[in-house]
Amino acid sequence: MAAAFEEEIKSAGAIVRNDGDVDKLSGDSLTHVEAVYQLPFLAHATMEPMNITVAPGRDQWESWAPTQSPQWVQSSIAKIAGVAPQRVIVHTLLSGGAFGRRYMADFPVEAAQIAKVVGKPIKLVWTREDDMQHDFYRPAAYHHMTGAVDAQGKL
């Protein structure tokens, strides 16, 4: 995949931003900078398993989870519970590594569905296999950047 990116970067692509013409710049007072940044396609593979505790109630639900999006957890549980979001209390716990993975509300949705069926508090802990199967994988990326800085620090 990296080799394909390296080859593809040589062709003309979409220009996101173009301030000036770095190829036309010259002079001893300029410092030219060039960098390549590569990011692999990967699972977030959090250190702490994906987990949440959900306690259903007649008028109010509660959850305890290491989440990066408590409002999304709140609205997702409220939808499943059939209550207003204000009737769902989300206790946001410290996370044992998230890397963006705990932003999604998939594991809270699963826990809320189970808690609704059994009618009592449940704790959901995903196995590593569950996490790898259901992760939202980060896409691979390859960035080639060039620029120049003059003696005054102007880009």
How much is the pLDDT for 112? 99
Which strand ranges, in their side-by-side order, compose the sheet holding 51-55? 88-92, 61-65, 51-55, 122-125
Answer yes or no: is pLDDT of 92 > 80.
Answer: yes
Per-residue pLDDT, averaged over 120-147, amounts to: 93
Question: 29-54: buried (b, 16+ CB within 10 Å) or exposed (e) per residue?
Answer: eeeeeeeeeeeeeebbebeeebbbbb
Distance CA 141, CA 5 (A): 8
- Please provide the CATH number assigned to the domain covering 51-134: 3.30.365.10
pLDDT for the residue 46 = 92
pLDDT at 70: 98
Mean pLDDT score across all residues of the chain: 91
The pLDDT of 85-89, averaged and rounded, is: 99
**Per-residue confidence band for 147, with pLDDT thresholds at 50, 70 and 90:** confident
Please state the pTM of the whole predicted model: 0.76
pLDDT score recorded for residue 22: 63
pLDDT at 27: 66
Extents of the domains making up the chain: 51-134
- Mean pLDDT, residues 85-108: 95
Which residues on adjacent β-strands are paired with residue 145? 35
